[in-house]
Amino acid sequence: MTTQTTEFFDQLGQRGHEPLLQRANGVIRYDIVDDDGGEESWCVAIDHGHVAVSQEDATCDCRLRAPRPVFEQIASGDVNATAAFLRGEIEAEGEWRLLVLAQRLFRRPEEVQR
């Protein structure tokens, strides 16, 4: 079954190069948690703007853990990941600079309205 999360990561993997991430280099692991305790993990490798997505278990520089409904709101641009972290809705650990830069992967509210 295709979920909104799967669609997000599939589309992200097809972007190839993100000019806004030219200064970013590292791997982010996203752990998406379901209500029943199930978990789905995605790794996003960023190499000076080039973005690659996989579900392989890779060594990561930082990790974001979020309930599926919250992550889907972040991915759709309805919720800011940094604000969700500050509210305690998601957990994050590792290289903070990379996590902050990764916010650029998500749609911004002005893009959603277009």
Is the residue at 64 inside a domain?
Answer: yes
Residue pair 85/50 in contact (Cβ under 8 Å)? The answer is no
Q: What is the pLDDT of residue 114?
A: 42
Is the residue at 46 inside a domain?
Answer: yes
Grouping H, G, I as helix, E, B as strand and the rest as coil, residue 22 is: coil
How far apart CA 76 and CA 61 sit, in angstroms, is 24
Q: What is the pLDDT of residue 38?
A: 92
Is the residue at 110 inside a domain?
Answer: no
- CATH number, domain with residue 53: 3.30.1050.10
Is the residue at 73 inside a domain?
Answer: yes
Q: Which domain holds residue 84?
A: 4-102
Closest CA to 64 of 29, 88, 89: 29
Is the residue at 107 inside a domain?
Answer: no
What string of DSSP letters covers 23-73? T-EEEEEEEEE-TTS-EEEEEEEEETTEEEEE-S----SEEEEEEHHHHHH
Q: What is the pLDDT of residue 107?
A: 67
Domains contained in the chain, number: 1
Is the residue at 84 inside a domain?
Answer: yes
Sheet holding 39-47, edge to edge: 50-54, 39-47, 25-33, 62-67, 91-94
Q: What is the pLDDT of residue 113?
A: 42
* Ranges of residues in the chain whose predicted pLDDT is under 50: 109-114
Q: What is the pLDDT of residue 2?
A: 66
pTM above 0.85, yes or no: yes
Is the residue at 108 inside a domain?
Answer: no
Cα separation of the two ends of the chain: 28
Is the residue at 114 inside a domain?
Answer: no
